[in-house]
Structure 1
Amino acid sequence: MAILNLIAQRPGGWSLTKIASSLGLAKSSVLTILTSLEAAGMVSRTDNYYDLDVGVLTPAGG
């Protein structure tokens, strides 16, 4: 949730490095989480910047 909350604060997206440093996490850990969120349609990546996607608005369970 912390990653999604952080990304929501800046329209236009965040870089992997900025997300990791802002949250005090390893880039490899953040990348793993972002990859899962991207596969779920909750974030999208454009030019190495991550932003919220429409999947974040879909209620759990459908």
Structure 2
Amino acid sequence: MKLRRLRRRWATSRLAYKLENARWHFFGYNPIGVKILAAVDRLRARFPESAAVHKLWLYCLPF
């Protein structure tokens, strides 16, 4: 119960919004972020069944 409340509070916090915004801008607009995203795309193509690579790929998507 407490963990749910903490997660809900984190999801609506100002810090979470700022971190999500920074992540979006880094992987969406920064040339280095674009290269990292391309590398993670290649990893995902090479290891399509890996859960860790899939989570990393989802984190790097700029949307």
Query: Same-fold call, TM > 0.5?
Result: no
Structure with higher Rg: it is 2
Query: Which protein has the bigger helix share?
Result: 2
Q: TM-score, normalised by structure 2?
A: 0.31
Q: TM-score, normalised by structure 1?
A: 0.31
Query: Which protein has the bigger strand share?
Result: 1
